[in-house]
Structure 1
Amino acid sequence: MAPLRIGIMGCASIALRKMLPAMAALPRTEIAAIASRNAGKAAEIARGYGCRAVEGYAALLDLDDVEAVYIPLPNAAHAGWIEHALAAGKHVLAEKPLTTSVSRTRGLIAAARSAGLVLMENVMFLHHSQHMAVRDLLEDGAIGELRAFHAAFAVPARPPEDIRHRAELGGGALLDTGVYPVRAAMSFLGGEVDVVSAVLTRRHGHPVDSAGQALLCTGDGVGASATFGIDHGYRSGYELWGSAGRIVLDHAFTPPADHIPVVRLERRSGVDEIPLPPDDQVANTLTAFAAAVRSGRLPDNDDVARQAVLVDDIRTKARLYVDHATEPVG
């Protein structure tokens, strides 16, 4: 099977640190071209991968030998360039969130399906095997009936000029880190969870939320809390609390490929720490994307659309707290 030839739309940090090295190493993917608005930057990065450099994103879509594009642009730019890529007949792997609005997300999913093109949101943790091990324990009754789910993902503060602090680029903690615990809750509780309440906090004079928490609930009363932030000590994990015990997983969302996951199983009989094999969620995600393109099996993307609804509901229902005591930026 010929490798999938992918064009890179932009030189974002995640592309340079994670996606490009993985694409170059995998037999099922090939870097066809790297595009940037800065021709010199594109050329410099392209030299390291022996591929073509392209000035401007539109020019990338004009290349016949580019079968798919990877879009790591700021959140607010996703929708427009996904639309252009689909119109050019390209399959798309886009960073999360797919777009910043429910209507645009639904519209692009429908457009991709109508065109027979793969559109995939790059939520990589879903492709790590550690979560299947947790699911197996849950389904085997290791902690009895599930009563609650708690998840958190937060990262230390970025510099004031970081794009995560810019409202016009789709910044803020909810879209940056909040997507992870929300999607994890959906993964274990099902897509029909609803938002009960939420709070979003703005600090340091930023125009976007830097922290937040949401309470979700299933139809049968199982609650989930999702905590997120971009101005915190690092945390990345979740726990499932059942009638007979608890399952805890740290390093849940962005573990490096050499990380050895440990699932903590707490029950009345004692505590077991279960080591799991390392896994590479970046490689797994790219492999899944290439396989979908080559097989012609389009993702239904129902969870992507539902995630967009939940994120929008969190934003709509949230009580906004503005910390006026913190020093303004600049």
Structure 2
Amino acid sequence: MMNISPDQRLRVGVVGCAEIAWRRTLPAMVANPDIEVVAIASRDGRRAKEFTDRFGGVPIEGYGELIDRADVDAIYNPLPLLLHAEWTERALEAGKHVLVEKPMTDSHKESSRLIDLAGSRGLVLMENYMFLHHSQHGEVRRMLDSGAIGELRGFSAAFTFPPKPAGDIRYQPGVGGGAFLDFGGYPVKVAMYFLGKHLRVGGAVFREHREFGAVLSGEVLLYTPGGVTAQLTFGMEHSYRNSYRLTGSTGRLLLDWVFTPPETHRPVVRIERQDHREEFVLQADHQFANAIDAFVRAVRTGDDLRSQHEDTLDQITLLEGIQRQALHVKV
């Protein structure tokens, strides 16, 4: 295992110049005093230089050279889903810790293999579902536990946005595009957060692009063994939504900006009962900075990530089950 002392900065290399890296993750990394961005790689050398001009480090054309650098302790992997397994495995084989964008891979088999590989090498492998690092969800859970809406009866969540430009990777299912695995996992992940890991699939309908074959949107019905349901919506042919609602025996709780809140945003929890309505304004939080902190801490202290890995495997198993049962409607 590559040990990082408390007074040593974690030297990070980035494989792939993805939009999420440019907008959110790399700004959080360079703002973290415990991280040094050493190199950024792209298939296009000019694209790599564009990134290093903003974030620092050495631009590299191609991913292999970056993986093999002796001055890199950890790899951040925001590549398209189809490439997650290959380059995460190569990084682990080279003795690097890895922060990989969600989902880790598109199958339980592959994710399990990578988790086992990281464990055998004593390396940190973390899947970057960054929204779980925002404090608003813990506050909501505490409200539920205190009986704010009575006994939980149902859950719903939506993550939708307008169509992307033609040629966007999400319209290319062969490289891990499509709406379901790319961001449909967010509503599934948050349903598991509130309802537990033993969710079952009641049904699903996917709208699929007739020409490209990519999933554009869909609805998913899950349920717990006790009959509490989760209705989940995802899609890239809608107005923008990113919210969830919990329905209880005495009221309901609603929250917006649950997956992509800006770091300056102060969440507003709305609780509605038959005879009155309350609003609670929470503290702003920076989920990307928190996720990066968690990764650095895991590398430095050897934090036990087994529960996170179990969640990763439980979720990909559920995603595979949804895909098997989904009715595909070509549009």
TM-score category of the 2 structures, normalised to the smaller one: over 0.9
Residues 1-330 of structure 1: pairs in structure 2 closer than 5 A: 1=6, 2-203=8-209, 205-300=211-306, 301-323=309-331
Aligned-residue CA RMSD (Å): 1.1
Q: Is the 8 A contact 1:5 1:65 kept in 2?
A: yes
Q: Is the 8 A contact 1:24 1:49 kept in 2?
A: yes
Q: Is the 8 A contact 1:12 1:72 kept in 2?
A: yes
Which ranges of structure 1 fall in alignment gaps of 5 or more residues? Answer: 324-330
Q: Is the 8 A contact 1:74 1:169 kept in 2?
A: yes
CA-to-aligned-CA distance 1:156-200 (integer Å, 9 cap, x gap): 101120000001111111112210000000000111111121111
Give me the whole-angstrom Cα distance separating, in 2, the residues matched to 1:312 and 1:267.
37
Which ranges of structure 2 fall in alignment gaps of 5 or more residues? Answer: 1-5
What amino acid sits opposite 1:52 in the alignment? Answer: V
CA-to-aligned-CA distance 1:98-131 (integer Å, 9 cap, x gap): 1111211111111111211111111111000110
Offset of residue 41 of structure 1: 2.3
TM-score normalised to structure 2 length: 0.95
What amino acid sits opposite 1:321 in the alignment? Answer: V
Q: Secondary structure at the match of 2:192?
A: helix
What amino acid sits opposite 2:27 in the alignment? Answer: P
CA-to-aligned-CA distance 1:256-275 (integer Å, 9 cap, x gap): 11111100011234111111
Instruction: Please list every run of at least 4 consecutive aligned residues from structure 1 whose deviation after the TM superposition is greater than 4 angstroms.
Output: none
Counting matched residue pairs gives 323
Q: Secondary structure at the match of 1:210?
A: strand
Q: Secondary structure at the match of 1:291?
A: helix
Give me the whole-angstrom Cα distance separating, in 2, the residues matched to 1:289 and 1:295.
10
**Which stretch of the first structure deviates more once superposed, 32-41 or 239-248?**
32-41
Q: Secondary structure at the match of 1:294?
A: helix
Give me the whole-angstrom Cα distance separating, in 1, the residues matched to 2:206 and 2:270.
30
What amino acid sits opposite 2:291 in the alignment? Answer: T
Q: Is the 8 A contact 2:210 2:330 kept in 1?
A: no
**Which stretch of the first structure deviates more once superposed, 295-304 or 246-255?**
295-304
Q: Is the 8 A contact 1:8 1:33 kept in 2?
A: yes
Q: Is the 8 A contact 1:24 1:31 kept in 2?
A: yes
What amino acid sits opposite 2:323 in the alignment? Answer: R
What amino acid sits opposite 1:195 in the alignment? Answer: V
Q: Secondary structure at the match of 1:231?
A: coil
What amino acid sits opposite 2:25 in the alignment? Answer: M
Identity of aligned residues (%): 49
Offset of residue 304 of structure 1: 0.5
TM-score normalised to structure 1 length: 0.95
